[in-house]
Structure 1
């Protein structure tokens, strides 16, 4: 059964216009755009049949095709990455068992995050989509609190219940766990990794639903599934020594480049 990875990318981001074209410098000094590094991360995932970039912007299309990516042009009306993935999958004619949304602002996503995600969805028939969560150590929890303290939109946290069924996702740090943790100590807070694996039916349904109040307040697309009573599987993944961060703000560029240097990533 086939797996499609879609990398949704738009130029007109509200918080960070032109973000997919931002350059990140690796340990060798080579500069590559955010969209290229995200595409290269997708290429490293095993068990995937096809990888495409989905965009509505000609600049992103031209650059992506220049480094060898397949591009699917989508409508400017897409309100988030999930809607863009749904349109791209439909444009490609469907026929995929699982569609993965690897958002174009997460170039440090390890291949095993996506491999574990797909395996988790296949193993749990009750789940309609799956998304990875990573237990925060003290240092990451501190970074999340510092972002909130300075008014920055940082990482998202996730809360889940029995069977790892998703209960809520927030840009606030939830659940309340205090702040007194050693840098490498495990905490009760889980960082949501912005990757999704959908069954085709739920992905097609998503674009037909109106945006609800929770999605509006938090600005988190996955809340639309919860607001419509759909079953979300949170798959706990392991960092295996890898650092992970999404590029949400201009201030995240040096942070991610520092992580790349520490991990010796070109």
Structure 2
């Protein structure tokens, strides 16, 4: 398959302005901006034809070109990464079979997460897919702590028995009453794979009330009756966490050091 990874990045983040350019210090003591670490994570994925950073901001574009990334400029009208991916798709001379949206705030995304997603997309009946990760005790504690302290952090997924999504939320679902004996909670990994036609349909739908309330772009598929295939992945002992709030910088840098990621 011809697979393109798109990395949407915008400067004007509501929760964390300038987030793509926030420096993150690796195991060697050197700092790199968040967008570079996300791009390096994308470049480590096998079976990918091309990788692009998508942005509407010249500062991010200049930084990305500075470390060697290909950049596609998109409009300020894009309300989320999926809409930005739909805009970028229209700019390509050769349409890929699959577009992967790797969020620009997810530098800890292991390559095998994305590879599992690409493998699932080999089934041409799957129009859109996203990975989910069974929460380990530390990740679950982080999620619960964030909500108790009023922060919006990671996202959880609720699925049917066949793996199709019922709902995604920034709340911890199902409810966790006791961390010593919690229910099974699935952490949504901020990566999406789409068929080009699915991306175009998405761009033609209006934002729905659930998407608006949660601030989760994938809910537009759910609200319009489009199947979202959840792909369980194995962390293999690595902690997965996105950079959603300033407090996450220390969390991510700790993982970079532990995993000896320069």
Q: TM-score, normalised by structure 1?
A: 0.96
CA RMSD of the aligned region, Å?
1.2
SS at match of 2:7: strand
Query: Aligned to 2:59, what secondary structure does the other structure show?
Result: helix
The match for 2:235 among 235, 239, 256 is 239
After superposition, where does 1:120-159 map in structure 2 within 5 Å? Answer: 120-123=120-123, 125-159=124-158
Residue 76 (structure 1) aligns with: 76
* Secondary structure, counterpart of 2:39 in structure 1: helix
Q: 1:265 Cα shift?
A: 1.3
Aligned length: 262
Q: Equivalents in 2 of 1:94, 1:74: separation in Å? A: 18
Residue number in structure 2 paired with 1:56 = 56
Q: What TM-score do you get using the length of structure 2 for normalisation?
A: 0.97
Shift in Å, 1:89:
1.1
Q: Provide the secondary structure at the position in 2 that maps to 1:163.
A: coil
CA–CA separation in structure 2 for the residues paired with 1:121 and 1:39: 21
| Secondary structure class of the residue paired with 1:71 | strand
Secondary structure of 1:88's aligned partner: helix
Q: Show structure 1 runs of 5+ residues with no match.
A: none
Q: CA deviation at 1:158?
A: 0.2
Q: 2:9 aligns to what?
A: 9
Distance in 2 of aligned mates of 1:191 and 1:80: 20
DSSP-derived class of the 1:101 partner: strand
How far is the alpha carbon of 1:155 from its aligned partner? 0.5
Shift of 1:187: 5.0
Runs of 4 or more above 4 Å deviation:
none
1:144-183 to structure 2, matched below 5 A, reads 144-181=143-180
Give structure 2 stretches of 5+ with no counterpart.
Answer: none
Contact 2:6/2:51 (CA < 8 Å) preserved in 1? yes
CA drift of 1:162 comes to 2.6
Q: Deviations over 1:84-133 (max 9, x none)?
A: 0111111113521100000100000000000001111223x443100000
Task: Give distance in 1, aligned partners of 2:177 and 2:19.
Answer: 33
Query: Counterpart of 2:38?
Result: 38
Q: What is the alpha-carbon distance in structure 1 between the residues aligned to residue 254 and residue 2 of structure 2?
A: 36
In 2, Cα distance between equivalents of 1:55 and 1:226: 26
Q: Does the aligned pair in 2 maintain the 1:157–1:191 contact within 8 Å?
A: yes
What corresponds to 1:115 in structure 2?
A: 115
| Per-residue CA distance 1:152-199 (angstroms, 9 max, x = gap) | 1111000111320111000001012433337xxx85100000000001
Residue 137 of structure 1: CA displacement? 1.7
